[in-house]
Structure 1
Amino acid sequence: MTEDFVNGAAVQALLDRASGLDAEGGDGRLKAIVRELAEAVMRTIVRHDVSESEFWAAIQYFQEGAAEFGLIVPGVGLEHFMDLLMDARDAEAGRTGGTPRTIEGPLYVAGAPLVEGDVNLSDDPDDTGTLYMSGVIRGPGGEPVEGAILHVWHANSQGWYSHFDPTGEQTPFNNRRRIRIGSDGRYSFHSKMPNGYSVPPGGATDRLMRALGRHGNRPAHVHFFVEAPGYRTLTTQINFGDDPFAADDFAFATREGLLPVPNRQGDAATIVFDFELQKAGASTEEGFSLRARAAV
């Protein structure tokens, strides 16, 4: 069987009907997208001679693994692809500079406490060292950014994020804060040291990674949103440059410029990291994407 089968009149008519192209009303752009996606899946089925049993096994996998879609999407490179695509669009528009963007991941929680000064992120005890992180938020001309809010979140030493911790032992905003930045653009926080972690063992993401001959590990890292009036909201994270998985992050979040090496002394580690924001070209760039996010 060749892909010419998909080009046949019966399949093409099916695609037109299934995507609503032969129906009045609806969203024309969405119809075109749905049609192309469905056709791509059909061509893949024919090209790789997928059997009926394999097809339904794949459907069952996605049904059972729906709760891990937020991990599967970065694991297969799609979330990083969106970063590469946005970078390319910026380059086409002549927009350069700024701290590199990288994936958000699925574990942000809206509504973290809004605080100022030298902030302690950790509410709960943890048998680990202390991370000290500080720096300056600047604009493209090197000017301190006034009125910025730095959202920061990371896992505990066991690799669990508050709100998503299956042990139920963390308070809702442990290792999560929004930091109001002063006129000098400086931020400073400390917290219990995050460690790297793996996707849930035996879960949908782990099973897929193993089937692909890959692992599901992430290095120790800290997530950030940076928002400020007149500037593009930045989504990024830093990976600890001395972590064994720093250059082999299953989620493809590692990017040049986002790999600071902590200065370690005893059980403490210090990272100095500055953020550079781009000017917003429109007010819509000052907000967040419409991605669904948890809230407490």
Structure 2
Amino acid sequence: MTVKTMHTQDVKELLEKVAGFDQQGGNDRYKKIIHRLVGDVYRLIEDFDVTPDEFWHAVNYVNRLGQNGEAPLLAPGLGFDHYLDIRMDAEDAERGLTGGTPRTIEGPLYVAGAPISDGYARMDDGSEDAETMIVTGVVRDQNGQPLKEAVVDIWHANTKGGYSYFDTSQSEYNLRRRIRTDENGRYVARSIVPSGYGCPPEGATQAVLNQLGRHGNRPAHIHYFVSKPGYRHLTTQINLAGDKYVYDDFAFATREELVIDAERVEDPSRAEAYGLNGPFTEVVFNVDLVSTDDATLQDRHTRARALEGEAG
């Protein structure tokens, strides 16, 4: 059809009333955003001649998305998380905060308050028959000097792609630990080699991806928060090289500098150095933080996270 209504006075007045422009109360920024958002949706309906059936199908989809709790999963799948990273990278460049380890998306599965230890932590509870993995590295400043007592907050999936807390079959804080670096800036975590995961095949996120002809898979990866007073907080994750989805991640989190080799080690002397008595996989990931006096950049950004209010 060729019906066009966006230019009419009726629609203009409707948008202003929807956004509360004719009311004294409320938040001006919120009103402007709603005016823009709703206006863009009206325009989309007009430009694509969206039918009432299609519109109510979309409304019901949003309802389903919320009921399933999948909005934080759909967001990275539609590139929103990566787009925010692009903006934050540009803002850092404008401030002169360049260099350091690249950021990439946090994802929706962080749980605050993981146990904290000095230098070393075992992350797994020993319940899975899985390849032992040692994750280690040094946290440094932008001049390459090691940073003592930086906090390295690590979390990852198990061999089935599940995360503790969200996967209730796992023990509390399984595969989640915080480690304070030692006097040489080093951290060591003993864990198990994780698996990647896919969106629930019958879920709301995958339903959208199917319509786009896209898969919903992520490669095997390990999440990091790294922080120290006086330095920009780093949110990042590493992908394990060789996974089939390393460069085809539905969440767009891959950055070349964050693809890390996972080396299978069979040398008994190297195993003994970590207190092991057999072959293991070693992942070495060094982190470079960027100094800043801006206190607002030294903490992770605020968002709803599991148990955030209980973090120690």
Structure 2 equivalent of residue 15 of structure 1: 15
Aligned positions of 1:65-76 closer than 5 A: 65-66=65-66, 67-76=69-78
Amino-acid identity (%): 46
For 2:5 and 2:264, locate their aligned partners in 1 and report how far apart those are by CA, in whole Å: 61
Structure 2 equivalent of residue 82 of structure 1: 84
For 1:249 and 1:149, locate their aligned partners in 2 and report how far apart those are by CA, in whole Å: 27
Amino acid at match of 1:93: R
1:99 pairs, out of 98, 101, 116, with 101
Structure 2 equivalent of residue 235 of structure 1: 235
Aligned positions of 1:1-296 closer than 5 A: 5-66=5-66, 67-165=69-167, 168-265=168-265, 268-295=280-307
For 2:83 and 2:231, locate their aligned partners in 1 and report how far apart those are by CA, in whole Å: 23
Amino acid at match of 1:240: L
For 1:82 and 1:171, locate their aligned partners in 2 and report how far apart those are by CA, in whole Å: 33
Conservation of the 8 A alpha-carbon contact between 1:3 and 1:47: no
For 2:300 and 2:238, locate their aligned partners in 1 and report how far apart those are by CA, in whole Å: 19
**Runs of 4+ in structure 1 displaced over 4 angstroms?**
1-4
Displacement after TM superposition at 1:146 (Å): 2.6
Displacement after TM superposition at 1:2 (Å): 5.8
For 1:251 and 1:275, locate their aligned partners in 2 and report how far apart those are by CA, in whole Å: 22
For 2:303 and 2:22, locate their aligned partners in 1 and report how far apart those are by CA, in whole Å: 31
Conservation of the 8 A alpha-carbon contact between 2:139 and 2:185: yes
Report the more deviating stretch, 203-212 or 257-266. Answer: 257-266
Conservation of the 8 A alpha-carbon contact between 2:119 and 2:186: no
Query: Cα RMSD over matched residues?
Result: 1.5
For 1:270 and 1:242, locate their aligned partners in 2 and report how far apart those are by CA, in whole Å: 14
Amino acid at match of 2:186: R
Displacement after TM superposition at 1:61 (Å): 0.7
Cα separation, partners in 2 of 1:7 and 1:264, compared to 1, 3 Å: farther
Amino acid at match of 2:160: Q
Alignment deviations for residues 124-172 of structure 1 (CA, whole Å, 9 cap, x no partner): 411221111111111112121233111100000000000001xx32111
Conservation of the 8 A alpha-carbon contact between 1:2 and 1:47: no
Displacement after TM superposition at 1:11 (Å): 1.1
Cα separation, partners in 2 of 1:113 and 1:2, compared to 1, 3 Å: farther
Q: Specify the SS of the correspondent of 1:80.
A: helix
Q: How many residues align?
A: 294
Unaligned runs of 5+ in 2: 267-278
Displacement after TM superposition at 1:286 (Å): 1.2
Displacement after TM superposition at 1:3 (Å): 8.6
Q: Specify the SS of the correspondent of 1:232.
A: coil
For 2:50 and 2:98, locate their aligned partners in 1 and report how far apart those are by CA, in whole Å: 44
For 1:226 and 1:171, locate their aligned partners in 2 and report how far apart those are by CA, in whole Å: 24
Cα separation, partners in 2 of 1:2 and 1:16, compared to 1, 3 Å: farther
For 1:56 and 1:27, locate their aligned partners in 2 and report how far apart those are by CA, in whole Å: 29
For 1:36 and 1:124, locate their aligned partners in 2 and report how far apart those are by CA, in whole Å: 52
For 2:146 and 2:265, locate their aligned partners in 1 and report how far apart those are by CA, in whole Å: 30
Displacement after TM superposition at 1:23 (Å): 1.1
Unaligned runs of 5+ in 1: none
Q: Specify the SS of the correspondent of 1:235.
A: strand
Displacement after TM superposition at 1:52 (Å): 0.4
